[in-house]
Amino acid sequence: MKLNVGFIKSVLNVYDEMSENGINIVYLGEFHHQITKMFTSMAEEDMDRKDEEKSIIRKVYAVMVETLQNMAKHSDEITDKYNIGKGLFMIGKKDGTYYIITSNKVTNEKKMDLEKAVEQVNGATKEELKEMYRRQITEGTLSEKGGAGLGLIEIARKTRNKLVYQFLPFDADTQFFLLKVEINAKKIAE
């Protein structure tokens, strides 16, 4: 790779954009247990240094774990024989709100089911989310990748926000699934 002027300008543009939006951790690559542990630890230490309330730290930590596990288990871009998913992860804070943004590839076949699941979670009330969670715990089955379908429900319950998402076409068979989760410190403290 050459460090030419065009590349350096691109890096500076990305740096400025991330800084302007409060993003302080960005990662592109494999998502496995050690990566999840490293990012949650880094974010937790950063929030501790900034004297964030323990209840906020717990919520951000829980949402990070769920989003990172979802990427590890459900990305359709598998990097090796261990079926480890690959994707993009970002976290930051701006104006009292933490943002966790993830992106991973999913096949076109899985897009409809994933979109249906997100819309179902987004359309549910607090009580309906609680019931969905209880029902999934008692009646749910594990997916072929080991998931019980609780991640999106748990994220919505913890954040008390709608899940912001988008699908972007990648190629004829694959979509990029972008998920943005917001954790408003003031809203959680209430």
What mean pLDDT comes out for the span 65-85?
Answer: 74
In a domain, 147, yes or no: yes
Say which residue, 158 or 73, is predicted with more confidence: 158
Quote the domain boundaries for residue 74: 22-189
Percent of all residues in the chain with a pLDDT value above 70, rounded to a whole number: 88
The pLDDT score that the predictor gives to residue 148 is 42
The pLDDT score that the predictor gives to residue 166 is 96
What mean pLDDT comes out for the span 152-156?
Answer: 91
In a domain, 36, yes or no: yes
pLDDT over threshold 70, residue 79: no
CB 133 within 8 A of CB 62: no
In a domain, 16, yes or no: no
In a domain, 70, yes or no: yes
Whichever domain contains 160, its CATH number is 3.30.565.10
Number of structural domains in the chain: 1
Percent of all residues in the chain with a pLDDT value above 90, rounded to a whole number: 38
In a domain, 157, yes or no: yes
The pLDDT score that the predictor gives to residue 86 is 83
Q: What single-letter DSSP state applies at residue 118?
A: H
Q: Provide the whole-model pTM.
A: 0.84
pLDDT over threshold 50, residue 145: no
What mean pLDDT comes out for the span 80-97?
Answer: 83
In a domain, 163, yes or no: yes
The Cα 93–Cα 115 span in angstroms is: 26
Phi, psi (5° rounding) for residue 151? -55, -55
The Cα 12–Cα 157 span in angstroms is: 37
Say which residue, 92 or 143, is predicted with more confidence: 92
In a domain, 14, yes or no: no
In a domain, 99, yes or no: yes
What secondary structure does DSSP assign to 38-95, as a single string?
A: HHHHHHHHHHHHTT--HHHHHHHHHHHHHHHHHHHHH-S-B-STT--EEEEEEEEEET
The Cα 105–Cα 88 span in angstroms is: 10
